[in-house]
Amino acid sequence: MKSVRLRRAVPADAALLHAWDAEPHVIKAVTDDPTAEEAFIDADWEQEISDQSPVSFFLIGEENGRPVGSMQVIDPHLEPTHYWGEIEPNLRALDIWLGPADALGRGIGTAMMTQAIDACFAAPEVTAIVIDPLSSNPDAHRFYQRLGFRPVERRLFGPDDCLVHRLERAHWEARS
């Protein structure tokens, strides 16, 4: 198995995240706007990284030491932007995107998610993990569902039409 390691994002990663915003597969995963030329258009990565806290932080996935992907981990009940609106406590919400196109489809995302999910459930109070892929991203739905996530609700987040998925702790623990 390839060596995939997750580490916390640091200020020097901002340039990488900016560069990945221009990757067509990242843009497609983030917006249904066919004219978009950049993903996470409002993101100031320097600021996002310096604003990290225990309720919202970024992870960088490295394959044999090369940064290849990013994740955001939030506590959706507590994080200050209240992106998820009214939502129960003791959840985590994840987002994941690989940067270089040559990293796609080689098991790196599965390895990153597996480590991140284990880390989320290491906190005993966490009952489930939620994610919000665009409804138009069936490849991602298949990816999440293979990990045990189940679709629970189609929902608009601003202009984004998303298919919310949820992974229950019991389901994850029964998996192995």
Do 109 and 147 touch, CB atoms closer than 8 A? no
In the bound state with ligand COA, the residue whose beta carbon lies nearer, of 153 and 170, is 153
In the bound state with ligand COA, the residue whose beta carbon lies nearer, of 79 and 132, is 132
Cα–Cα distances (Å) from 9 to 30, 45, 62, 121, in that order, read: 20, 10, 11, 20
Cα–Cα distances (Å) from 148 to 16, 22, 91, in that order, read: 30, 30, 16
- How far apart are CB 9 and ligand COA at their closest, in Å? 16
- How far apart are CB 47 and ligand COA at their closest, in Å? 22
In the bound state with ligand COA, the residue whose beta carbon lies nearer, of 40 and 50, is 40
Do 90 and 60 touch, CB atoms closer than 8 A? no
In the bound state with ligand COA, the residue whose beta carbon lies nearer, of 22 and 170, is 22
- How far apart are CB 135 and ligand COA at their closest, in Å? 11
In the bound state with ligand COA, the residue whose beta carbon lies nearer, of 1 and 12, is 1
- How far apart are CB 89 and ligand COA at their closest, in Å? 23
H helix intervals, the chain: 14-20, 24-30, 45-50, 108-121, 138-146, 169-175
Interacting residue ranges for ligand COA, rule: CB under 6 A: 25-26, 29, 95-98, 104-110, 133, 137, 139-140, 142-143
User: Distance between CA 148 and CA 166 in Å, rounded?
Assistant: 8
- How far apart are CB 126 and ligand COA at their closest, in Å? 20
User: Distance between CA 104 and CA 87 in Å, rounded?
Assistant: 32
